[in-house]
Chain A
Amino acid sequence: MIQFDAVHKRFPNGTTAVHDLSLQMPEGGVTVLVGSSGCGKTTTLRMINRMVEPTSGTIQVGGKDVTRQDAAELRRSIGYVIQQAGLFPHRTVLDNIATVPLLLGWSRRRARTKAAELLETVGLPADTGRRYPHQLSGGQQQRVGVARALAADPPVLLMDEPFGAVDPVVRTQLQDELLRLQKELSKTIVFVTHDVDEAVRLGDQIAIFRTGGHLVQCAAPAELLARPADDFVADFLGAERGLKLLSLKTLAEVPQGPAPEGGPWSLVLDEANRPVHWASKDAEIPVRPLRDGDSLLAALNESIASPTGLIARVDATGVLSGVTSRDDIHQHAGQAHTEARVTA
């Protein structure tokens, strides 16, 4: 666990970057720090590994005050990923990943073996290891950055806008990968972003900062979206925050029934009973089938696009399991909102 107690940071030029911050970042969870630029989120992150020293207050990682530890040793025990990856351009990918193990005094062979393992963990082909950073795409470089941070298996991972410089498609992939990794590794992750959607996707809790380094609200994504503490938070989350909340709920609990027969539109299946499209006398509209794990937001989107208002639902193998009506989705969406407002 990472604990901030009454932490202040004033820079020599007089600006206050972080104002009286008390915050807990739970072990094994992802805490996302969001806010517009200059709100102190990056400074907050960098105080954890002493890249920035607090002016007053204490920061503990795993119960130990960070300022009482040797800064370099502390940093070796904490994974650190930055925007643009910050890879060493003169070292191969493998040697980049092996940085911290080598600093910790591992043998070169052991460090390289571990680095090769990590290439696979972050989804890069083995031959990437011999290449130089400038030979990789931005997304690949970012993966190497994550691998480098994981190399010595630190319990804590600090990520400073790690996916800020890659295109939206790659960014979504990297987010998926991070969620998958986190399921396996259960690191305590502190993640800085200014992208609300990214925060909602990745965060177990989200801390929203306002200019001047004030923490405005820290809560689970659902609670934050349903009950923003004030207008600032509501504005920051955006007008579609109601829909964003639906992105956190899955279809699993929404009932489904058999596909209707008769009527102008019918659902056409292939020989393996997988939905293909809706067909009428003179038109075919493709179907994007959804699974139980898909979000209510995706279901709502699909039901609006469907000519019948029905979404096709499939099991893990893609075989049709039933259909759900727009009304049922709406009702559950409404319920999700009510629950989020009442509980938590």
Chain B
Amino acid sequence: MYELFKNLGAWLVGSEQWTGPDGIAHRLAEHLQYSLLATLIAAAIGLPLGLLIGHTGKGAFVAINLASFGRALPTVGLVVLVFLAGGLSMLPVYVALVALAVPAIVTNTYAGMTAVDPDVKDAARGQGMRGHQVLLQVELPLALPLIMTGLRLALIQVVATATIAAYVSFGGLGRYVFDGLAQRDLVQVLGGAVLVAVVAVILDLALSGLQRFLFRHRTA
């Protein structure tokens, strides 16, 4: 056991591990690129949807159920399904990651919108704001803390799951996990897993800190 952790430490800090096309730096960049792109696409779908539902109060039932359906979807299954249907490309990976991220974004955006004090919305309309002005000047800024929480959760989930890119032969930190498994190299498997976990935790802490800084003027 001790030996294993010693080897793992050596693997993680070894300078040859960090450079080159199969090095950690490159794999990390790939991993982040997949994750950010998937989260961005998910945000482009989930944010408007959550805002629209929250603003109008219509379609909440359908959207929330669709969202939980999305959550229940097995990611690997989805990758395989889209891969079988569309052939080998990054598309199956992105479809699966986006499907994973959208629910967290929709539900948190919607929750943020419904948490806006009805008196404040009433006052906004009563002062003569039009629908889009109420949305952009009042509801959106007030829902923003929860919206950001949704984006953060989505990103963390996607980062943790983006290892599946390697499952269909692409890069990212999952490369170490799948290659390690194939080569029965436990150190490499563990190294990849630890890297993914560390990246997820660092992102989570950094984004929570950013949120606290941005909304320091807000009360609970």
**A residues within 8 Å of B by Cβ?**
49, 51, 72-77, 80, 82-90, 99-100, 103, 132, 134, 148
Q: Across the interface, do B219 and A82 meet the contact criterion of CB distance under 8 Å?
A: no
| CA A304 to CA B128, docked complex, whole Å | 52
| CA A134 to CA B219, docked complex, whole Å | 7
Q: Across the interface, do B127 and A99 meet the contact criterion of CB distance under 8 Å?
A: yes
Chain A residues lying within 8 Å of B138, measured Cβ to Cβ, are: 88
| CA A77 to CA B127, docked complex, whole Å | 9
Chain B residues lying within 8 Å of A49, measured Cβ to Cβ, are: 126
Q: Across the interface, do B130 and A72 meet the contact criterion of CB distance under 8 Å?
A: yes
Known: A90-B141, A132-B217. A82 touches B127 (CB 8 A): no
The answer to the question of B218 belonging to the interface, with a C-beta cut-off of 8 Å to chain A, is yes
Interface residues of B in 113-145 (CB under 8 A from A): 117, 119-120, 122-130, 133, 138, 141-142
| CA A114 to CA B56, docked complex, whole Å | 34
Apart from A86-B126, A103-B127: 10 A-B pairs, beta carbons within 8 A = A51-B125, A74-B128, A76-B128, A80-B126, A82-B119, A86-B119, A86-B120, A87-B123, A90-B142, A103-B133
| CA A80 to CA B125, docked complex, whole Å | 10
How far in angstroms is the closest Cβ of chain B from A135?
Answer: 9
**B residues within 8 Å of A by Cβ?**
117, 119-120, 122-130, 133, 138, 141-142, 217-219
Q: Across the interface, do B125 and A75 meet the contact criterion of CB distance under 8 Å?
A: yes
Q: Across the interface, do A73 and B126 meet the contact criterion of CB distance under 8 Å?
A: no
Chain B residues lying within 8 Å of A51, measured Cβ to Cβ, are: 122, 125-126
**Closest partner residue, chain A, to B121 (CB atom):** A86
**Closest partner residue, chain B, to A145 (CB atom):** B123
| CA A134 to CA B218, docked complex, whole Å | 8
How far in angstroms is the closest Cβ of chain B from A44?
Answer: 15
Q: Across the interface, do B218 and A86 meet the contact criterion of CB distance under 8 Å?
A: no
Counting chain A CB atoms within 10 Å of each CB, the highest count among B117, B120, B122, B142 belongs to B120
Known: A89-B142, A89-B218, A90-B142. A72 touches B129 (CB 8 A): yes
How far in angstroms is the closest Cβ of chain B from A12?
Answer: 15
Chain B residues lying within 8 Å of A90, measured Cβ to Cβ, are: 141-142, 217-218
How far in angstroms is the closest Cβ of chain B from A33?
Answer: 17
How far in angstroms is the closest Cβ of chain B from A115?
Answer: 13
- CB < 8 Å neighbour of B129 from A103, A132, A148: A103
Q: Across the interface, do B119 and A84 meet the contact criterion of CB distance under 8 Å?
A: yes
| CA A134 to CA B123, docked complex, whole Å | 16
5 A-B pairs with CB atoms under 8 Å apart are A76-B128, A82-B119, A89-B117, A89-B219, A100-B127
**Closest partner residue, chain B, to A82 (CB atom):** B123
Q: Across the interface, do B127 and A75 meet the contact criterion of CB distance under 8 Å?
A: yes
Q: Across the interface, do B119 and A148 meet the contact criterion of CB distance under 8 Å?
A: no
Counting chain A CB atoms within 10 Å of each CB, the highest count among B127, B142, B219 belongs to B127
Chain B residues lying within 8 Å of A82, measured Cβ to Cβ, are: 119, 122-123, 126
**Closest partner residue, chain A, to B220 (CB atom):** A134
Chain A residues lying within 8 Å of B128, measured Cβ to Cβ, are: 72-77, 100, 103
| CA A88 to CA B138, docked complex, whole Å | 7
Known: A132-B217, A134-B219. A88 touches B120 (CB 8 A): yes
Chain A residues lying within 8 Å of B130, measured Cβ to Cβ, are: 72
How far in angstroms is the closest Cβ of chain B from A224?
Answer: 29
| CA A72 to CA B138, docked complex, whole Å | 16
| CA A132 to CA B219, docked complex, whole Å | 10
Counting chain A CB atoms within 10 Å of each CB, the highest count among B120, B123, B125, B218 belongs to B123
Q: Across the interface, do B120 and A75 meet the contact criterion of CB distance under 8 Å?
A: no
Chain B residues lying within 8 Å of A134, measured Cβ to Cβ, are: 219
| CA A173 to CA B173, docked complex, whole Å | 67
- CB < 8 Å neighbour of A75 from B126, B217, B219: B126
Q: Across the interface, do B122 and A76 meet the contact criterion of CB distance under 8 Å?
A: no
Q: Across the interface, do B127 and A148 meet the contact criterion of CB distance under 8 Å?
A: yes
How far in angstroms is the closest Cβ of chain B from A147?
Answer: 12
Chain A residues lying within 8 Å of B218, measured Cβ to Cβ, are: 89-90
| CA A86 to CA B124, docked complex, whole Å | 8
Chain B residues lying within 8 Å of A80, measured Cβ to Cβ, are: 123, 126-127
How far in angstroms is the closest Cβ of chain A from B112?
Answer: 13
| CA A134 to CA B138, docked complex, whole Å | 16
